[in-house]
A and B are shown apart, each in its own frame.
Chain A
Amino acid sequence: MAAIQTFGLTKEYRSRLPRPRTPTAARALDDLTLDVRNGEVFGFLGPNGAGKTTMIRLLLGFLHPTSGQATVLGLDTERRSVEIRQRVGYLPGGIALYDGLSGERLLDYLAGLYGRPAPRRRELLDRLEFSDRDLRRPVRDYSRGMRQKIGIVQALQHDPELAILDEPSEGLDPLVQRAFYAILDDLRGAGRTVFFSSHVLSEVERLCDRVAIIRRGQLVALEEVESLLARRKRNVEMRLAGPPPILDGVPGVSGLTIADGLVTCQLEGDVGPFLQAIAGHSISDLTIEPAHLEEAFLEFYADELGLADWGRSTRQVAETSREEATAPSVVDR
């Protein structure tokens, strides 16, 4: 059984304005069919306004589909949304909280609405570095990052079978982001399913088993992250201390240039033949850039889908994260 299944899910927003002023309804989601397997971390990607939040709200029964249907944990979202929400943890994007309550009281209240204990609260608070002192402060005094942390805790404290997280790492500092990613890894390890939306491809690359890309309400790609990355061309840069190796004709190598002792090329697929070709040559430095999802994605989909703008913005994020993540290395993947 899939954790989430949608069949031709469509949502149109109709304006309440008088008819002559609203010639058409806005279609936020268009014939979306996908499934999320049990136990996987599934990334739901798209630029702002693509329909990610609409999809999540349909899954939780906040919105009613114009056509099509969806099931969550085998339950119909239209008829059994209360049962669904009993088994799901949800983090809304830009979560709003009851500002007058302390963090502790807020978590007690939200857990109480489930009518069962919150066994993971202490562990989550510790991992997200949320102190007891902060927990006793009113929510109104919290920074954006603290609100997001409390949002994550309230979504996961009751140990749900499925976590639906809307842009969960927004506002978290890099260290807490890392802790959050580890929490998601553990959820996967425990057989829980995680469905999360993001517009940051590097995050999805790091966490997800599969990724769906949505644009203007339509599903444009649904792939295993690994397979997408495996098809990606890596950028190779090699500084020579002797005669250059012969790379012409090596399988997977393309775009070869050699100038002033610096060899650059692109490498696709298995790195074995390339490593064999350079073995025994005097090389002072070698960098093979990891295959990043945004570049892989843009390479395969951007032109046909006109995603150049998205690519530019996400590439900046990717380059920042790459600087952090990739210490100089010989072979990264």
Chain B
Amino acid sequence: MNATLFLQTWRFQRIKLLAVLAGLAIWGFLMPVIYSQFGVQFKKLFDSGIIPKQFAEFGEGDVFSLPGSISLGFIHPISLLLNGIFAVGFASAAIAGERQRGTLEVLLARPISRRGVHATLYISLLVFLGMSVGAILVGNIAGAVLFGVVDQLNLSRVPVLWLNGVLLFGAIGSIGLAASVSFDRLTPALGVTLTVVLVSYFLEILGSLWPDAKGLQPYSLFFYLKPRAILTGQTDLFSFGLLLTITLAAIGYALAIFPRRDLAAPS
């Protein structure tokens, strides 16, 4: 861990980070609002059969309960997009982007090991993701308080949900960083990471909407994000353990491969 690199990474990302935090906080705020204002109407609509029941289970989230709406907020593409700015974009570009621009050479000419660079960037990423997931939850709580439904939220479970979110996006970020150290250019690193995320997301959503495809969900990283279960008092330790294992495997791969790679002169 290098303090100078850590601080500079913060400086480089600060505007983007502020925008992402604002976006996620607003998005998080909207979930309890939608539940409190339109939850009953949505429930009637689904009960009437106009909309197929499966659509009420989008990624195991819904708008008929506060935990359900918070769960929907986490699994919704908007959340994925905003969290993906760091978990996918930052992570994939962290090394491969510097390599492509030629600045990695300037950085690695300093007395900092490649493992140190990776560790610093991963810690930075975790902090960004911790703040991002925290921003959704702050928005959730603010919305619940302002619209009078906070009594339906078990606040003692919020830190567990925060940890679950950070573990999920941290796992995606560790895959992104592993891809980033493996390629000399940004495009393949970003491509690999996006493929993992999109396939994973597709499997989770498909399984949640189509009962016959439910068996595919365990192959998705998003299956191990359990907001509703956590907020209703259940903690699936296996999900936490699996996300942590994937993260450690990706970090282990990156730490093994990065120092061994030849960094030829930028083209």
* Residues of chain A having any CB pair with chain B under 8 Å: 13, 53-54, 57, 60, 62-64, 82-83, 85-86, 88, 90, 92-98, 100, 109-110, 112-115, 154
Contact = CB atoms under 8 A, between A and B. Distances in A.
B4 A96 contact: no
Contacts of B103: 96-98
A20 B263 CA distance: 24
B111 A57 contact: no
Nearest to A62: B263
Contact of A64 (B101, B105, B109, B262): B262
A67 to B, nearest CB: 14
Nearest to B263: A62
B4 A113 contact: yes
Contacts of A94: 102, 266
A93 B110 CA distance: 16
Interface centre among A13, A83, A109 (most CB of B within 10 A): A109
A63 B262 contact: yes
Contacts of B265: 53-54, 57, 92-93
B175 to A, nearest CB: 20
A86 B109 CA distance: 9
Given A63-B264, A86-B111, A93-B265, 9 more contacts: A53-B265, A57-B263, A88-B109, A92-B109, A92-B265, A112-B4, A113-B2, A115-B4, A115-B111
Contacts of B8: 109, 112
A119 B110 CA distance: 16
B101 A113 contact: no
A237 B81 CA distance: 77
Contacts of A63: 262-264
Contacts of B266: 94, 96
B5 interface: yes
Contact of A109 (B4, B101, B108, B113): B4
A94 B8 CA distance: 23
Given A100-B12, A112-B4, A90 B263 contact: no
Interface string B84-103: 00000000000000000111
A113 B260 contact: no
Given A63-B262, A64-B260, A114 B106 contact: no
Given A53-B265, A63-B263, A82 B105 contact: no
Contact of B105 (A86, A92, A98, A114): A92
Interface residues of B, number: 23
Nearest to B109: A90
- The interface centre, meaning the residue of B103, B105, B107, B109 with most chain A CB atoms within 10 A of its CB, is B109
Nearest to A106: B106
Given A96-B105, A115-B4, A62 B262 contact: yes
Contacts of B112: 82, 85, 113
A119 B260 CA distance: 34
12 contacts: A13-B262, A57-B265, A62-B263, A63-B264, A90-B109, A92-B106, A92-B109, A92-B265, A96-B103, A97-B103, A113-B112, A115-B111
Contacts of A60: 108-109
B90 to A, nearest CB: 15
B109 A85 contact: yes
Contacts of B262: 13, 62-64
A88 to B, nearest CB: 8
A299 B265 CA distance: 32
Contacts of B263: 57, 62-63
A62 B111 CA distance: 12
Contacts of B106: 92, 95-98, 110, 154
Contacts of B264: 13, 57, 62-63
Nearest to B2: A113
A86 B266 CA distance: 23
B110 A114 contact: yes
A140 to B, nearest CB: 12
In the A-B complex, the 9 residue pairs with the closest CB atoms: A96-B102, A113-B110, A86-B111, A112-B4, A90-B109, A62-B263, A85-B111, A63-B262, A113-B4
A86 B108 CA distance: 11
Interface in B145-180: none
A115 B264 CA distance: 26
